[in-house]
Structure 1
Amino acid sequence: MSALDGSIVIIALPAIFRGIDLDPLAPHNIGFLLWMIMGYRLVQAVAVTTLGRLGDIYGRVRIYNAGFAVFTIASILLSFDPFHASGAAVWLIAWRLLQALGGSMLTGNSAAILTDAFPADRRGFALGLNQVAALAGQLTGLVLGGLLAAWDWRAVFWVNVPIGLFFTVWAYRKLRDTGERHPGRIDWWGNGLFALGLGAILIAITMGLQPYGGHTMGWTSPAVILLLSVGVASLAGFVGVEMRVAEPMVDLDLFRIRAFSAGNIAALCASLAQGGLQFVLIIWLQGIWLPLHGYDYADTPLWDGIFLLPLTIGFFISGPLTGALSDRFGARVFATIGMVLFGSSFVGLLLLPIVFPYWAFALLIALNGIGTGMFAAPNTASIMGSVPARYRGVASGMRATFQNSGTALSIGVFFSLIIVGISERLPATMSVGLQQQGVPADIATRVADLPPVTSLFSAMLGSNPIEQLLRGTGILDTLDPAQQQHLTGGEFFPQLLSGPFHQGLVIVFVASIALSLCAATASALRGPRSADGDHGVRRGVTKDLVQVPDRTV
């Protein structure tokens, strides 16, 4: 449910914007679009470690159960938006942040609850199913969002309500806390600096994607530079605080555990490589491939989800299977091979033409899903099994933080790289294309100066911006019917966008290949398989080990 809501809104954004009557092409509305996407990721990235720590102190099941209730309440409030246009967008963004907090209470403790409940020889299978549930929700949201949005945009929030109500009651009645509980104090300074640092960086990314002055993006904006500086300084201060306080939010000595540090580095690199992929594929399909194959813009969100199903199927096949096998043979081989296959899929996607044969695309995204499944469950089992029992809540939160932070950063980086690629060629290409259809040169140049990020999000929202832009100039009615039909049809804008978009796509996929290799290397260096919690480190962690001579480091 938590993962599903991170993606279901992405597909439903065209219906949401139409439903609240918000113009996605207006420059000042780009911020609303970005915050609907990034706000959820921001809260999840910032909150999960703290909520995992609270689970260690007050009980993991207690925090997990409360997450169901918070998530359900936020879903109800989201579906009753009383405002219009920008006011409605602010309402949705605000309650999405609360919804993300509830989701963080779930994801920050779920892996720790399963690690407590299952013995070491079954843990990989259990965590594999948990990973499958998470990614299945994320990918199923792409299909479900298209189906529900075709009915009513509010339905993408209604779908959570009966599930949330049932499982809120079920969790309070059935779940029992079998893990250790260690009362302690909250590291408020550490929590504050971490939230400020990561939050400032992710806010800066959302601002950096928007035009500033005469620039296509806002990375030179003083506000962005200030936020990035504050973010880096706060995270540096966070590390200093954690090294000195008696009960840190994040015990940095955990990173002395080889399997823990290598697994989290691999997870971060994998998330950076994959997090923005979903958005790239949505733009590729909804903005270019589907319109060029005769699909109406209004139907592209639904078909986008359907054509991405091989990605889900690949993960469904490999996730539980490799999770179970890793219980017997260890995580290193499966996780490393998974990242190699994952990177190989990007090589294949890099070689595809922009108007590809679907069978080749389907095979490559299925390979991507298989590689992700082979990596996710064994890597999670390795991370969770490497720490002593009392640290499982914070370890679960830290794992989720690395994953969510990587995803959020990846979205910003992928968008930035594609915008750079588009901005170099799209204005000139659009101006020439418009003039060839009878649009006067001065008007064609003015329309072609549309910020590249607006063109990108128009493609993502499955809309053709040309008609709206030309109608605003009054020139469209002066053209002959054949020219009007061509300019406002389903092929003109995708054909203009395809070349510049492919240039950005090459940059993105090369970056993903490099990150996949980094993840595979980190995974291979995690060390041999070891018994549960066998990795001793100094300070707080060492004293938690069972003092048996052949197991104590």
Structure 2
Amino acid sequence: MTMSPTGPVSTADDHGPHYKWIALSNTTLGMLIATINSSIVLIALPDIFRGIHLNPLEPQNTSYLLWMMMGFLVVTAVLVVSFGRLGDMFGRARMYNMGFLIFTISSILLAVTWFDGSSAAIWLIFWRVVQGIGGAFLMANSSAILTDAFPTEQRGLALGINGVAAIAGSFLGLLVGGVLAPIHWHLIFLVSVPFGVLGTVWAYLKLKDTGVRKHAEMDWWGNVTFAVGLVAVLVGITYGIQPYGDSAMGWTSPMVLSCLIGGSLVLAAFVVIETKVAEPLFNLHLFANRSFTFGNLANLTGSIGRGGLQFILIIWLQGIWLPQHGYTFEKTPLWSAIYMVPITVGFLLTAPISGALSDRLGTKWFTTTGMVLTAGTFAGLVALPVDFSYPVFAVILLLNGIGMGLFSSPNRAEVMNSLPADARGSGSGMMTTFQNTAMVLSIGLFFSLMISGLATHLPDTMQSGLVENGVSAGEASQIAQLPAVAVLFAAFLGYNPIEMLLGDQLNGLPDASRETLTGLDFFPHLISSPFADGLLAAFTFAIVCCVIGAVASLFTNSRKPRTPSAGCPAAPDDQRNSESAGATLAAVAAESGESPAELVDADRRSVS
């Protein structure tokens, strides 16, 4: 036990030489199941809605579909900063453990859903939100726990492994959901329960609070304005991709505009409040640190650029490419997850290695190269024909995963190493908030760009295609004017879109026309050209975001990590040497963002 300016501190070494690996393994498990559950529902939505006997494409049910997709992300984006601040105040391990418990209980209650229809949808959405609360506790405090537990020269490796779990989980969730959902949709929630129980018991028994704890008053006005403002903005984005009146999207809806404008004004008030209170939720002074500012900017723009990638690839594979290659629409969810595995492989190969190497070589060139490579892969996807050759597609996805791996771990280490010891929970929460908010924003923007591309050309293409195959001009015109989002969601869910759109009208058509319209070739060929227009717009936007992220990465300090023994002076012989040593230590502390007590403790750990 040592003393710091903020109070007594327990160090990692107080709990044995292996404590840091216990912390790494448990937080990695926590991040893995949290991020698996953020995406597992996406691929399982058709089976979930069939299981609760609800058609998600009916207008009155679209909101259920959107909140099943987005609710988890919205909640985690809103709460991680507050939960990180609670970790700084009351103990990061304590808050993390509580998150594991909440996550596990909500997983059990999701798995035992027994309702049908809209009641079941509301039950699932509610407990998904609660599950998101647990996930926010895990995400907000895991990086801070690792930063406390590991010495500076090993943090890149530790945060890299943890980051692998965080991002790989989002892709593994697609695969796990695709395998389990066709067996029984309850399994996608049940699969988390044993891991949740194990992780919760393990965390309560083994994890200890080892970092500086900052006792402070809760910034209630900051918490309220931040939550209200961010929720309003994210809800506006979520409903902006729904049709409104005669418009293909809802961006002109009074409700959406009220959410976006009102939420932005509340967030502006939040920023003002944070400059006035003694103990702010968002420590704006952290942005005076160049690495923290530009590292978060790179993370934000990179997340916006690649956040909607999963959705676009799912629609591309499920709605066009897989049916064209003989896969029935019912089987496309699983196979789309399988065909996206190269991204996960690329990320798993590079994220831990880049994290470890950045501990020795610095982070700047890893993060910059990663963003440039990711931008290049988006350019490669734009250059591909809609009916691509899979080996070429797989190589591009592999390179995309490699680029994400090169960026993610060093970026996280750069930001976390820039934080003072008593702000690691809130700083980690701020970083995760930027990332999760960017994901929701990216999904809204990517869907909007895709819908704009589809809405421009799809109606005429669809009307002529339906008329050519026996549908009356009046019925074809009516169907062609349906919102493009319905076509996107049908493809995303693995339904046969034309069968869903025509419904009973198919019964009046000749057998040959019916087989053509509902076959595996008609819809993919119908949508290919309009989809390519939307794809160009979405991925061009992604390229711009990644280039901005690469430029921001160049402005981080990214100095080679300090060798602990080099930063601490030898024992002084007299008072003069003592004062000189203290000044040197203070200077090193100011440069590194760590407290003098922490630097001394880092040396003690290094020597031992």
TM-score (norm 1): 0.96
Which amino acid is the alignment partner of residue 148 of structure 2? Answer: D
Q: Please state if 1:124 is matched with 2:124.
A: no
Q: CA 1:467–1:551 in structure 2 vs 1: closer, same or farther (change >3 Å)? A: closer
Of residues 138, 146, 159 in structure 2, which corresponds to 1:106?
Answer: 138
Q: Please state if 1:411 is matched with 2:449.
A: no
Give the Cα separation in 2 of the matches to 1:308 and 1:271. Answer: 18
**Which residue number corresponds to residue 359 of structure 1?**
391
The 8 Å contact of residues 360 and 561 in structure 2, kept in 1 or not, is answered as: no
**Which residue number corresponds to residue 86 of structure 1?**
118
The 8 Å contact of residues 388 and 533 in structure 1, kept in 2 or not, is answered as: no
Which amino acid is the alignment partner of residue 88 of structure 2? Answer: D
**Which residue number corresponds to residue 152 of structure 1?**
184
**Residue-pair matches, total:** 541
Give the Cα separation in 2 of the matches to 1:468 and 1:340. Answer: 41
Q: CA 1:449–1:505 in structure 2 vs 1: closer, same or farther (change >3 Å)? A: same
Give the Cα separation in 2 of the matches to 1:216 and 1:325. Answer: 48
What do the CA deviations read for 1:106-139 (whole angstroms, capped 9, x no partner)? 0100000000000111000000000001112111
**Which residue number corresponds to residue 537 of structure 2?**
507
- Pairwise CA distance, 1:531: 5.3
What do the CA deviations read for 1:421-463 (whole angstroms, capped 9, x no partner)? 0001111111100000011101111111221000000000011
Alignment of 1:228-267 (within 5 A): 228-267=260-299
Which amino acid is the alignment partner of residue 253 of structure 2? Answer: S
- Pairwise CA distance, 1:250: 1.0
Instruction: Pick which of 442-451 and 236-245 moved more.
Output: 442-451
Give the Cα separation in 2 of the matches to 1:462 and 1:185. Answer: 50
Q: Please state if 1:479 is matched with 2:517.
A: no
The 8 Å contact of residues 96 and 137 in structure 2, kept in 1 or not, is answered as: yes
**Which residue number corresponds to residue 540 of structure 1?**
none
Give the Cα separation in 1 of the matches to 2:390 and 2:181. Answer: 25
Q: Please state if 1:59 is matched with 2:91.
A: yes
What do the CA deviations read for 1:297-354 (whole angstroms, capped 9, x no partner)? 1111111111000000000010000000000001111011010101010010010000
Which amino acid is the alignment partner of residue 270 of structure 1? Answer: G
The 8 Å contact of residues 25 and 465 in structure 1, kept in 2 or not, is answered as: no
What do the CA deviations read for 1:248-300 (whole angstroms, capped 9, x no partner)? 01110000000000000000001000110110000000111101100011111
**Which residue number corresponds to residue 518 of structure 2?**
488
- Pairwise CA distance, 1:549: 4.2
**Which residue number corresponds to residue 381 of structure 1?**
413
Q: Please state if 1:470 is matched with 2:502.
A: yes
Structure 1 gap ranges (5+): 535-544
**Which residue number corresponds to residue 269 of structure 1?**
301
- 1:529 is paired with a residue of what secondary structure? coil
Give the Cα separation in 1 of the matches to 2:213 and 2:557. Answer: 29
Structure number, greater radius of gyration:
2
Alignment of 1:88-487 (within 5 A): 88-472=120-504, 474=505, 476-487=506-517
Q: Please state if 1:548 is matched with 2:578.
A: no
Q: CA 1:109–1:549 in structure 2 vs 1: closer, same or farther (change >3 Å)? A: closer
Identity of aligned residues (%): 52
Give the Cα separation in 1 of the matches to 2:386 and 2:590. Answer: 56
Give the Cα separation in 1 of the matches to 2:587 and 2:124. Answer: 57
- Pairwise CA distance, 1:11: 0.5
Q: CA 1:550–1:409 in structure 2 vs 1: closer, same or farther (change >3 Å)? A: closer
Which amino acid is the alignment partner of residue 440 of structure 1? Answer: S
Q: CA 1:549–1:198 in structure 2 vs 1: closer, same or farther (change >3 Å)? A: closer
Of residues 529, 543, 547 in structure 2, which corresponds to 1:517?
Answer: 547
Which amino acid is the alignment partner of residue 508 of structure 1? Answer: A
- 1:178 is paired with a residue of what secondary structure? coil
What do the CA deviations read for 1:39-80 (whole angstroms, capped 9, x no partner)? 111101000000000000000000001111100111111122
- Pairwise CA distance, 1:30: 1.5
> Pairwise CA RMSD of aligned residues?
1.5
Give the Cα separation in 1 of the matches to 2:562 and 2:588. Answer: 13
What do the CA deviations read for 1:203-258 (whole angstroms, capped 9, x no partner)? 01111111111111111111111111111101100000000000001110000000
Q: CA 1:208–1:550 in structure 2 vs 1: closer, same or farther (change >3 Å)? A: closer
Q: CA 1:499–1:392 in structure 2 vs 1: closer, same or farther (change >3 Å)? A: same
Give the Cα separation in 2 of the matches to 1:399 and 1:343. Answer: 22
Which amino acid is the alignment partner of residue 510 of structure 1? Answer: T
Q: CA 1:330–1:204 in structure 2 vs 1: closer, same or farther (change >3 Å)? A: same
Give the Cα separation in 1 of the matches to 2:590 and 2:469. Answer: 77
**Which residue number corresponds to residue 19 of structure 1?**
51
- Pairwise CA distance, 1:31: 1.3
- 2:331 is paired with a residue of what secondary structure? helix
- Pairwise CA distance, 1:89: 1.0
What do the CA deviations read for 1:147-188 (whole angstroms, capped 9, x no partner)? 001100111000010100111101101111111111111101
Structure 2 gap ranges (5+): 1-32, 565-582, 592-608
- 2:586 is paired with a residue of what secondary structure? coil
